[in-house]
Amino acid sequence: MSTSSTRRPAQGAGRSGSTSRAETAVPSGDGRAVRKPAGSATRPRKAEPAEPAKRAPRAARLRKEQDILREAERQFAQFGFEGASLESIGAALGISRHNLLYYFPSKEALYRRVLDEVMGQWLQGMGAIASGEAPEAALRDYIAAKMRFSRERPSGSQVFTKEVIAGAPRYGEAIAELVLPPLKADVRAFERWARQGRIGRVDFTHLMFLIWSVTQAYADLAPQFALLLGKPALEDKDYAAAERLIVRLVLAGLKPDAS
C-alpha cells in the first residue's frame, strides 16, 4: 500500500522569508529595516584594556648607564670617536660588548648621548647674560660658569672640541639647534645694553666666540698649561687667576669709551 508523496511543511516554515524563530525589524543606518531575532539585544562592546603604565627605569639601570657614559666620555676625549671602541669601554667597566649594547644600541648612539650630556651641562650656564640686568654682574657669572665647566668636566669639553675640529659630522645639527637660540639671546642683551650706553659696541657674536675659546682652553689645554707652570695639574688657584684676568679683559674691552 503506497503512502502519499505530499509531505507536511516543517513547523513554522510557512511564508517566504520567515524563520523558525520570531524576528523583529530593526532600522539600519541607511533607513532600511533589518530583521534580527527577537531577544537578541545588542551587546555593548568590551572596553579595550588600558595600556599598562610604563615603568620608570630602575635605579640600578640608571647607575649603570651613568657609569658607561662617564667611561665613554673619558675614552672619546682621549681617542676620539674612531679610536674608542665599545669593547674597550666595556672592558674598563668589566662588562662585555654585548652587555653594553643592552644599554646603548650602537657606538654612535652612545657618542651622541655623551655629547647630549655635555651640552646639557654647558647650556645651563648660558642664561646669565640674557637674563641679567647688570652687564658686569652677568658677565662675571657667565665667565665663572664657563671656567667651572672647564675645571670640573675637561673630558666633556675635549669630546666636544674633537667633534667640532672634525667638522661636527655627527653632531653638527644638534649644535646649531641647541646653541644658536641662546647665542642670539645673548647678543640681543648686549645690543640692549649698548643702546642704553652701558657698554661699548663691538661685534658681540665674536665676543661670545672669544669668551668660549679662552675659557674652554682651560679644559682642552690644561695639561700643557700645567706643564709650563711646572706642576702635574692645574690647581684651583690657577683657574681662579685665569677667571679674574678674563673678566678684567672682557670688561675693559666693553667700556663705553672703547667703542
Which domain CATH number covers 173?
1.10.357.10
With respect to residue 103, please indicate whether it lies within any of the assigned structural domains. Answer: no
Domain enclosing residue 174, as ranges? 116-258
Return the percentage of the chain with pLDDT > 90, whole number: 71
Number of helices followed by number of strands (H, E) in the chain = 10, 2
With respect to residue 159, please indicate whether it lies within any of the assigned structural domains. Answer: yes
Q: 3-state class of 208 per DSSP?
A: helix
**CA nearest to 118, candidates 174, 60, 181:** 174
* pLDDT over 70 (residue 99): yes
Q: What are phi and psi of 21, to 5 degrees?
A: -120, 150
With respect to residue 161, please indicate whether it lies within any of the assigned structural domains. Answer: yes
* Mean pLDDT of the region 107-128: 92
pLDDT tens figures, 55-92: 666 898 899 999 999 999 999 999 999 999 999 999 99
How high is the pLDDT of residue 254?
Answer: 97
Comparing 1 with 50, the larger pLDDT belongs to 50
pLDDT tens figures, 185-225: 999 999 999 999 999 999 999 999 999 999 999 999 999 99
Buried b (16+ CB within 10 A) or exposed e, 136-165: eebbbbbbbbbbebbbebbbbbbbbbbbee
How high is the pLDDT of residue 53?
Answer: 59
> Structure pTM?
0.74
pLDDT interval class at 52 (50, 70, 90): low
With respect to residue 27, please indicate whether it lies within any of the assigned structural domains. Answer: no
With respect to residue 61, please indicate whether it lies within any of the assigned structural domains. Answer: no
* Mean pLDDT of the region 99-125: 94
How high is the pLDDT of residue 250?
Answer: 98
Number of domains in the chain: 1
Q: Which residue has the cell 620608570?
A: 56
Cα distance between residue 76 and residue 220, in whole Å: 13
With respect to residue 102, please indicate whether it lies within any of the assigned structural domains. Answer: no
With respect to residue 99, please indicate whether it lies within any of the assigned structural domains. Answer: no
Cα distance between residue 192 and residue 176, in whole Å: 24
With respect to residue 32, please indicate whether it lies within any of the assigned structural domains. Answer: no
* pLDDT over 70 (residue 95): yes
